[in-house]
A and B are shown apart, each in its own frame.
Chain A
Amino acid sequence: MNAIEISNLNRVYRAQIGVFNRSIKEVVAVDDISFDVQAGELFGLLGPNGAGKTTTVKMLTTLLIPSQGSARVAGFDVVKQANEVRRRIGFIFGGERGLYWRLSGDDNLRYFASLYGVDPAVSKKRIPYLMELVGLQGRGNERVGGYSRGMKQRLHVARTLLHDPDILFLDEPTIGLDPVGAREFRNVILNLQSQKKTILLTTHYMFEADALSDRIAIINKGRVIALDTPSGLKGHVSDLSVVELETFGTPESVLEKLRSLPFVDALSVEDREQKQMLLVQTKRGAEAVPDVMAALDGQRIGRVIVREPTLEDAYVRLVGGQA
């Protein structure tokens, strides 16, 4: 059974430009996407910034009306039966906003429980249970303004579970969390997964998507460009190896030269404080290292590693190194 069904969904934003010579600028945020998510599945949605992930989630959570196409969540149309959808879903958008900071954690949950029509007797029992589930037991009487970012994110999870929804939308829920907080958050997601909740997760963290997702759709420029299991997606780059080189301030002209080499399938650059990490995807494996080093002649090079490709490498290849 499908918990989410998306059919030819499209969303165009229109913005008015200019004061005297007014013109309308159209931006296609989601361009004719279709996919289904099965009940109980943890479905990852990956893509670079501006790819259309959040717009998709907003349409599925009834916060945005699609320009074209249709979507059904829990069997209900997201536009025509919005309130039926809302009763059956919970959602989180990344970041710490969206809570009443002057209220305590418990009072926030009490208020949202009433907004979802949860019986007071049920919410009285459910709030302490959820606070414990997200690791906030004993902190419910404190004002949310004094919570750390991670605590606020976890309170959002508790908020979204108040009415015991079957389907959860988690839009970059671990953004801005420190590694410990992010790991605790992932444990909460795994716990929800074990409760057979359907979860649609968007994230920028590939290892997170790899570890948690049953299937992943990669979305770029508003279109779904790949949809498969994590191992299936890695199969896109199974013929490749990745040469990782630690460099320091390599100029763009040198990177272009490297990118243009015939044996280089894709090149991505990650800035890590003063260092740069060059990730060269190639079919030649370790044999490519001398030629890569030659192309970087004159550049300061630190550690060099040749490794098997990961989901991130598959993602980079699929989105054309735009991530």
Chain B
Amino acid sequence: MNTINKNLYLFWQGTMLSYRALFAWLRPVTYMASKILMPLAQMFFFVFLGSYASNGKNVDFYVIGNAIQITSVSGIFGVTMSVGGDRDAGTLPYLFGTPSNRFIIFFGRAFMHIIDGAIGVVIALTWGVLLMGLDLSHTNLSALGLTILVTTFSTCGLGLLMGCLSLLTANVMFVNNFVYFSLLIFSGANVEVTALPAWMQFVSNILPLTRGIAASRALAAGASFSDISPLLVSEMGIGLIYGLLGYFLFSWFETQAKQKGTLETV
């Protein structure tokens, strides 16, 4: 077996097994409550609140914004668990004691959450169509599907960075919650980015999700794939930057732990 095949096998095994091993919500009741009911309840809350505030004019705006924002449940919380779970399982020394490719291990931890997050968005959009009158009749559904995948990928990039923080501290869930709820505002899910103060718009532009939501809204309004492709490329780029930052933090953490002898104390 050559190196490429070994790495592909490692990626596949690492993806599937680490998802099952480290994703603490992977039990039917917990999964339903955390990944389906809670995001849908959040979506309904903001849709009804927004609809009430705008006299029922902007329902699609809130449905799409909040449905796409659901990617961050997988992207932030799911990926953090999958990266930081080794800390709780005590498997970090055994992981770092292998000659395996760290890049593949690291990004393999996020892969299933991209699929998982995208499925969550599709469920939310389906509820939006069935219960809230979301109209996708003029939408390029293939482009919307790709947009959902790219947006989930970029939020997972942020999740990889957050996951590395969870290797350094036991209290990362506080930070995760802060980031998750900040995205509700900064990403434009519930407030037009252009309506935000300048400094908030700056933050919006360096976060994942913002462009994905804008692209999805544009597609729902009938835009073509070529219209939204610049947004997708930017969204992908932001996800990659966060993912790479996470990887460098992961590598830095491994080196520091070996130099300072903190591997067993994290």
Binding site for B on A (CB under 8 A): 11, 13-14, 55, 58, 61-65, 83, 86-87, 91, 93, 95, 97-103, 107, 110-112, 114-117, 119-120, 159
Contacts and interface: CB of A to CB of B under 8 A. Distances in A.
Interface residues of B, number: 29
A120 B9 contact: yes
B250 to A, nearest CB: 15
B100 A115 contact: yes
Contacts of B17: 100, 103, 107, 110-111
20 contacts: A13-B260, A58-B263, A62-B258, A63-B258, A64-B261, A64-B263, A65-B259, A86-B97, A97-B90, A97-B91, A98-B89, A98-B91, A98-B93, A100-B17, A110-B17, A114-B100, A115-B95, A116-B98, A117-B10, A120-B1
Contacts of B105: 115
Given A63-B258, A64-B261, A87-B99, A114 B21 contact: no
Contact of B100 (A100, A116, A119): A116
Interface of B: 1, 6, 9-10, 13-14, 17-18, 20-22, 26, 89-91, 93-100, 105, 258-261, 263
Majority DSSP secondary structure for residues of B touching A: helix
A86 B97 CA distance: 6
A111 B90 CA distance: 15
Given A63-B97, A97-B90, 9 more contacts: A55-B261, A64-B263, A98-B89, A98-B90, A99-B91, A101-B89, A110-B13, A114-B13, A117-B10
Q: Which of B97, B105, B258 has the most CB of A within 10 A?
A: B97
Contacts of A120: 1, 9
A111 B94 CA distance: 12
B224 to A, nearest CB: 43
A93 B258 CA distance: 16
B99 A117 contact: yes
A64 B264 CA distance: 11
A100 B99 CA distance: 19
Contacts of A95: 90
A169 to B, nearest CB: 10
